Amino acid sequence: MFARTLAVVFMATALPAVIRAQGVRIGVLGLFHPAELSVSAGQGTALLVNAGDKSFVIENTSNCRVANLKSQGDRLDLHCGDLFEHGPEITLASREGTPVEFYLRIPGKISRRYWGKLEVIAHSGRLIPIVQMDVETAVASVVAAETLPDTPLEALKAHAVAARSYLLAGTGRHHDFDFCDTTHCQFLREPPQPGLPAAIATRATRGLVLAYEQRVFAAMYTRSCSGRTHTPSELGMPASRYPYFSVACKYCRQHPAHWQTRISVRDSINLRSFDENARIRTVRRLGWGTIPGDDFTIRYQGGVMVVEGVGQGHGIGLCEAGARAMAAAGADFRQILAHYYPNAAVIPAATEITANR
């Protein structure tokens, strides 16, 4: 749903025979910098927790129903019923060590459901929750979070292929895990139920990736462009192995997404149109929605700077607004991808990815 805000473009990686059979490790809820968390089991499930050399089970029918975690510097304190454990980290999975449904909460702020394995690390007074999930679960979760509810199925399929390609080729942005759950990598929330469109689109494109010269690449996408997609060089970003082309987007040309915002003169000093890195530095301070796109003008008015722009996101690669319009007009996902990623191929990745739940 939200525009991609990548500050760098990744080099494509060679397509190996087996890709990420173990899944991907995604750091979640990091925007909240939590010092406290709670973990509980999904309906009818049990969670095996390993804390140092000790293990115990969380389940709704026992005295230990909710594990409360608190960071004490680089130590994690865990309370669950009458149990108390501490250490630098904990891990959580099913009794068999396989992925499981669980709920992760930051008290008073947010609660989310996940399907996978959980690792929580204590570091410098905060907790770092990391969910290891299979690639297809991650793809479905990204598609559900990044797209609008009324997005046609073929556009969702195109998005699923792009998201999967990014997960397979876009690692290296974080030290403790592969990806985060924000638009810094790909926006991710809860996995959709099997009958929902995002899950259906993911299953329909299972294992398909975008490749250039037989190499999968970390496909970039944007919420809406200004009538023509951009190239990385236009935004001062380094080139990638895939040569992104500027292509016409009929829908955004006819239905431009205009926006306006006001910022202080001081905040505008280093802000420049068509400079993605400068925009990212600005929105990290002021909020991600402050300057939603790179195509804008700035003018002084009444003691503040008025920023007026068109398009949301960096405008590189797949345009979500344009993809929705193409799908509504009858295009299938391959045609959508061919339009926004010229000279790229949709190919099956050899994989041992666990089936999407």
The pLDDT value given to residue 13: 41
118 and 141: one domain?
no
pTM of the model: 0.88
* Whether residues 78 and 112 fall in one domain: yes
Q: Which of 133, 149, 171 is the last residue of a domain?
A: 133
CA pseudo-torsion sign 185, 186, 187, 189 = negative
**By CB neighbour count within 10 A (0-12 exposed, 13-18 middle, 19+ buried), where does 292 fall?**
buried
Nearest alpha carbon to residue 30 among 139, 104, 102, 138: 104
Residues 247 and 179 in one domain: yes
Residue 31 domain-assigned? Answer: yes
78 and 111 together in one domain: yes
Cβ atoms of residues 266 and 286 within 8 Å: no
The tally of domains found in the chain comes to 3
Q: pLDDT at residue 354 above 70?
A: no
Q: What is the distance between the alpha carbons of residues 141 and 110, in angstroms, rounded to a whole number?
A: 17
Q: Which of 298, 291, 285 is nearest to 312 (CA)?
A: 291
Range of the domain at 112: 24-133
pLDDT tier at 20, thresholds 50, 70, 90: low
Across residues 215-239, what is the average pLDDT?
A: 92
CB-CB contact of 92 with 39 (8 Å):
yes
Q: How far apart (Å, rounded) are the C-alpha atoms in residues 344 and 336? A: 12
Boundary of a domain, candidates 85, 100, 133? 133
pLDDT at 53 (0 to 100):
83
Is the pLDDT assigned to residue 22 strictly greater than 70?
no
Tens digits of per-residue pLDDT, 280-316? 899 989 988 899 999 999 999 999 999 999 999 999 9
- Sheet (strand 13-14) strand order: 13-14, 215-216, 208-212, 345-348
Q: How confident is the model at residue 4 (pLDDT cuts 50, 70, 90)?
A: very low
- Rounded mean pLDDT of 249-259? 96
Residue 176 CA to residue 28 CA, distance in Å, equals 12
Residues 6 or more apart whose Cβ sits within 8 Å of residue 22: 132
Average pLDDT over residues 74-84: 92
Asked which of 133, 159, 179 is the last residue of a domain, the reply is 133
